[in-house]
C-alpha cells in the first residue's frame, strides 16, 4: 500500500544552519507530494506541494523536488530561523479521492 517514511527527529540546529529533512514514499500511480508544517499550538498548514516528477515546490525559503527515480521529496532550507521551529509532515495523495497519507512527522528545534 501507499506509505511515507520521514527521518526521525528531533532535529536540532543553530540559527542560519542548513536544513534537510528526508522523505521517501511508496505509491501506486502518480501521487502528488506535500509538506505540511505544524507550529506549536496551531493546526497543520500547507508549506509546499509538487504534483509531478521533477517539479520543485517552494515557499518561505523552503524547497523540495519531486524525484520519481528515488521516490523522494526531501525538504531543504538554506538558512533556518528560530521561527521555523515546528513539526514538519511529509504526505502524499494517490488515487482518485485525494486521501492524504502522512509520515510520522519530524520535529525541528532551532536555537539562537
Partner 1 sequence: EAGVAQSPRYKIIEKRQSVAFWCNPISGHATLYWYQQILGQGPKLLIQFQNNGVVDDSQLPKDRFSAERLKGVDSTLKIQPAKLEDSAVYLCASSLRTSGGRYGDTQYFGPGTRLTVL
Q: Please name which of 108, 109, 111, 85 lies closest in space to residue 21, comparing C-alpha atoms.
A: 108
Q: What kind and span of H or E run contains 3? A: strand 3-6
What are the backbone dihedrals phi and psi of residue 79, each rounded to the nearest 5 degrees, phi first?
-150, 105
Nearer to partner 1, 101 or 110 (CB): 101
Q: Do residues 77 and 84 make contact, with C-beta atoms less than 8 angstroms apart? A: yes
Closer Cβ to partner 1, 62 or 89, answer by number? 89
Answer for which of 30, 56, 79, 81 binds partner 1 (CB under 8 A) is 30
Q: CA 109: distance to chain centroid? A: 15
Q: Which of 19, 21, 80, 105 binds partner 1 (CB under 8 A)?
A: 105
Least separation in angstroms between residue 34's CB and partner 1 is: 7
Which residues make up the interface to partner 1 (CB under 8 A)?
4, 29-34, 36, 42-46, 49, 51-52, 89, 91, 93-100, 102-105
Amino acid at each position: 500500500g501507499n506509505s511515507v517514511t520521514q527521518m526521525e527527529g528531533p532535529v536540532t540546529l543553530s540559527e542560519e544552519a542548513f536544513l534537510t529533512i528526508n522523505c521517501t514514499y511508496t505509491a501506486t500511480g502518480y501521487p502528488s507530494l506535500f509538506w505540511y508544517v505544524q507550529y506549536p499550538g496551531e493546526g497543520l498548514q500547507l508549506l509546499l506541494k509538487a504534483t509531478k516528477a521533477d517539479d520543485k515546490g517552494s515557499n518561505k525559503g523552503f524547497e523540495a523536488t519531486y524525484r520519481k527515480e528515488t521516490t523522494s521529496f526531501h525538504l531543504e532550507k538554506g538558512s533556518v530561523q528560530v521561527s521555523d521551529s515546528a513539526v514538519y509532515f511529509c504526505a502524499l495523495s494517490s488515487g482518485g479521492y485525494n486521501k492524504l497519507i502522512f509520515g510520522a512527522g519530524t520535529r525541528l528545534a532551532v536555537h539562537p
